[in-house]
């Protein structure tokens, strides 16, 4: 890591002499915490009246009395009997999905007690390729976070015959990225699970490159867990997966030696069911991890980050210390870095949180990252350096021409009457969709929608290479009660320009608004336009996260006012182009369905 930055995290080998000298008291500590009620995630106990001695970025001493290492320059913090716990770790997160850059993400989550994470930057990699991943890594290194990056495995998520991304990642690129440093920690979620099970050369090559580099591979598996395919997937060497939505998903992954990541994002609420693997069935929690996956900017402000997920797990009946283990030591052990993060033990980085009130409240009063107090009482107390993005990163929307209303006309296989068609059925607080058969009216050879039909059109327009590719489909349960449209370049995972609406004219306005901003989100009704500019790769804003949260809140309100009342609606809608998640999605190529054999393109209209 960059040793010139003030939040650098030196290798343990370089710190050993000073740590031992400090523990003896020969060298005075830079920081001492006294009278702490220590949450010991190693032993699973609470230790009263403990002291912690820190030398620089790492912990030198944990015991009853640290008075022998206190000097004139030592910063002493009296915990006053409050709980002191390891900083929280997010075991699976896409920073870009919070629509803010790594620096702003750090500002948002450090105050809530998150001191590190394992970040899969496959969103920006789908837009900019390895240079985008490198930008995320370099900026993350300038923050106090223990930020470990994962190499995007699925760029595109399946193959170019089904979708168009801005780049392509294969085994050679994976191997190259692992040469960037030890903080390139793992292969990101392998979403092309059929490719693994049926031995796609590219996917197997990426996993082999990862294993040869001594790294671990993360998974994304949504087929049933009660047949041979889950074993075939695990046999590849993939040892973690965040797609558990019920208890049996967790149980079967753990039984096969995988780490089961239980997700509580803004709009996907999987912990309540998946945690029953422990609370109802008694499964050992050593291989169970709490993660966020995706958090919207306003949910970071309103609810928090990993502190929110830990509170939620405790509310489901998990013992508080156990919940903390699932957000600290378990996560660190999964990625092989438990010597550095995830515990309050000698030699570990001094990533420490001090809590007010009961442990179950997870009320973070102070955050210490790499031995520095960085946040107190919900406010950052250190400044983070500005990170500048190159021109190619902020000019990433490349359309062949202005979007027109007639681009959204769906030609029908008849001149008039009604025909049966496939619609993508949205599910609130779930990542998956359902394939719904609907009857649509046809007038003059075109699909004719009325607001009262409860259907919207959806379009995905390729925006990376100027190919002109565009596909059209139908989506149900969006909820618009008035003429409305939403357009966005946040359209997982290829992040082409996606437009949803029930008015062709408003859809064109929304699309062109986003293109003119060089990326972002726009909601358009007859009352006007609400927009959120996301100029960095069309995914993120480098404005202060508080501002982005308010702009995101305005997008949510505009959707709500139009009748889309889903919880954190944008987060769910942004997944409608993510073709590797069941059951039906739309790419710039066409409608893609998940089947028992993999992913196949299907027609919009159903033969009768």
Q: Show the tokens assigned to 159.
A: 């193959």
pLDDT at 4: 63
pLDDT at 375: 98
At residue 183 the predicted structure's pLDDT band, cuts being 50, 70 and 90, is very high
How many residues can be counted in the chain?
608
pLDDT more than 90, % of the chain: 94
Arithmetic mean of pLDDT, 249-275: 95
Structural domains of the chain ordered from first start: 87-341 (3.20.20.140), 392-602 (no CATH)
pLDDT at 448: 94
Q: SS in 3 state form for 10-79?
A: CCHHHHHHHHHHHHHCCCCCCEEEEEEEEEECCCCEEEEEEEEEEECCEEEEEECCCHHHCCCCCEEEEC
Global pTM value: 0.95
Arithmetic mean of pLDDT, 54-77: 97
At residue 1 the predicted structure's pLDDT band, cuts being 50, 70 and 90, is very low
Arithmetic mean of pLDDT, 467-479: 96
pLDDT more than 70, % of the chain: 99
Query: Do residues 29 and 71 make contact, with C-beta atoms less than 8 angstroms apart?
Result: yes
pLDDT at 598: 86
Helices assigned H by DSSP within 540-598: 545-561, 569-573
pLDDT at 39: 98
| pLDDT tens digit sequence for 76-94 | 999 999 999 999 999 999 9
d(CA 266, CA 296): 6
Mean pLDDT of the chain, nearest integer: 96
| pLDDT tens digit sequence for 358-387 | 999 999 999 999 999 999 999 999 999 999
Query: Minimal CA–CA distance to 303: which of 352, 265, 246, 247?
Result: 265
| pLDDT tens digit sequence for 276-325 | 999 999 999 999 999 999 999 999 999 999 999 999 999 999 999 999 99
CA distances from 45 to 42, 330, 357 (A): 8, 15, 18
d(CA 65, CA 52): 9
Q: Is 322 exposed, middle or buried (0-12, 13-18, 19+ CB in 10 A)?
A: middle
d(CA 261, CA 239): 11
CA distances from 159 to 187, 418, 584 (A): 18, 34, 17
351 pLDDT more than 70: yes
Query: Do residues 107 and 377 make contact, with C-beta atoms less than 8 angstroms apart?
Result: no
3 pLDDT more than 50: no
Query: Do residues 28 and 70 make contact, with C-beta atoms less than 8 angstroms apart?
Result: yes
Arithmetic mean of pLDDT, 208-217: 98
Q: Show the tokens assigned to 569.
A: 């609606």
| pLDDT tens digit sequence for 116-172 | 999 999 999 999 999 999 999 999 999 999 999 999 998 998 888 899 999 999 999
400 pLDDT more than 90: yes
d(CA 187, CA 178): 9
Share of the chain residues as helix, strand and coil, in percent rounded to the nearest 5: 30, 30, 40
Query: Minimal CA–CA distance to 572: which of 430, 458, 422, 424?
Result: 430
Cα dihedral sign, 107-112-113-116: negative
Question: Which SS3 state, helix, strand or coil, does residue 119 take?
Answer: strand
At residue 2 the predicted structure's pLDDT band, cuts being 50, 70 and 90, is very low
């Amino acid at each position: 890591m960059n040793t010139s930055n003030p939040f650098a995290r030196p290798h343990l080998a370089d710190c050993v002499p000073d740590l031992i000298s400090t523990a003896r008291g020969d060298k005075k500590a830079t920081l001492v915490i006294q009278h702490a009620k220590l949450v010991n995630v190693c032993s699973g106990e609470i230790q009263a009246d403990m002291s912690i001695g820190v030398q620089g970025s790492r912990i030198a001493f944990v015991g009853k009395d640290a008075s022998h290492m206190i000097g004139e320059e030592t910063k002493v913090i009296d915990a006053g009997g409050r709980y002191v716990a390891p900083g929280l770790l997010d075991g699976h997160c896409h920073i870009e999905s919070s629509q803010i850059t790594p620096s702003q993400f750090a500002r948002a989550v450090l105050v809530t007690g998150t001191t590190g994470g394992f970040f899969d930057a496959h969103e920006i990699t789908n837009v900019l390729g390895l240079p985008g991943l490198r930008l995320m890594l370099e900026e993350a290194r300038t923050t106090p976070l223990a930020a470990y990056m994962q190499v995007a495995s699925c760029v595109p998520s399946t193959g170019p015959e089904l979708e168009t991304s801005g780049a392509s990642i294969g085994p050679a690129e994976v191997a190259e990225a692992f040469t960037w440093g030890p903080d390139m920690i793992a292969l990101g979620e392998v979403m092309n699970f059929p490719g693994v099970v049926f031995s796609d050369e590219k996917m197997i090559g990426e996993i082999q490159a990862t294993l040869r580099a001594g790294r671990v591979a993360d998974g994304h598996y949504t087929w049933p867990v009660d047949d041979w395919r889950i074993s075939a997937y695990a046999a590849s060497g993939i040892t973690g997966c965040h797609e558990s939505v019920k208890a049996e998903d967790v149980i079967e992954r753990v039984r096969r030696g995988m780490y089961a990541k239980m997700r509580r994002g803004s709009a996907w609420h999987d912990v309540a069911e998946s945690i029953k693997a422990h609370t109802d069935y008694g499964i050992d929690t050593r291989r169970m991890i709490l993660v966020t996956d995706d958090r919207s900017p306003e949910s970071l402000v309103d609810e928090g980050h990993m502190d929110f997920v830990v509170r939620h797990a405790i509310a489901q009946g998990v013992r508080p210390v156990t919940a903390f283990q699932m957000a600290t030591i378990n996560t660190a052990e999964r990625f092989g870095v438990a010597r550095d993060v995830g515990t309050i033990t000698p030699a570990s980085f001094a990533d420490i949180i001090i809590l007010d009130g009961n442990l179950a409240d997870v009320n973070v009063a102070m955050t210490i990252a790499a031995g520095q107090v960085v946040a107190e009482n919900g406010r950052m107390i250190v400044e983070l350096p500005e990170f500048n993005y190159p021109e190619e990163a902020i000019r990433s929307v490349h359309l062949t021409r202005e979007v027109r209303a007639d681009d959204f006309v769906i030609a029908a296989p008849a001149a008039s009457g009604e025909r049966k068609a496939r619609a993508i059925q949205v599910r609130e607080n779930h990542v998956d969709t359902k394939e719904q058969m609907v009857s649509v009216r046809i007038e003059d050879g075109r699909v004719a929608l009325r607001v009262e039909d409860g259907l919207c059109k959806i379009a995905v327009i390729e925006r990376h290479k100027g190919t002109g590719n565009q596909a059209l489909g139908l989506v149900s349960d969006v909820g618009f009660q008035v003429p409305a449209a939403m357009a966005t370049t946040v359209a997982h995972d290829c992040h082409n320009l996606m437009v949803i609406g029930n008015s062709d004219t408003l859809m064109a306005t929304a699309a062109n608004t986003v293109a003119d901003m060089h990326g972002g989100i726009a909601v358009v009704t007859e009352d006007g336009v609400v927009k959120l500019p996301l100029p960095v790769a069309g995914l993120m804003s480098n404005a202060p996260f508080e501002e982005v949260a308010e702009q995101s809140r305005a997008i949510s309100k505009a959707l709500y006012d139009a009748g889309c009342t889903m919880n954190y609606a944008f987060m769910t809608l942004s997944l409608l182009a993510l073709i590797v998640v069941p059951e039906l999605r739309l790419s710039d190529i066409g409608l893609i369905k998940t089947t028992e054999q993999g992913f196949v393109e299907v027609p919009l209209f159903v033969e009768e």
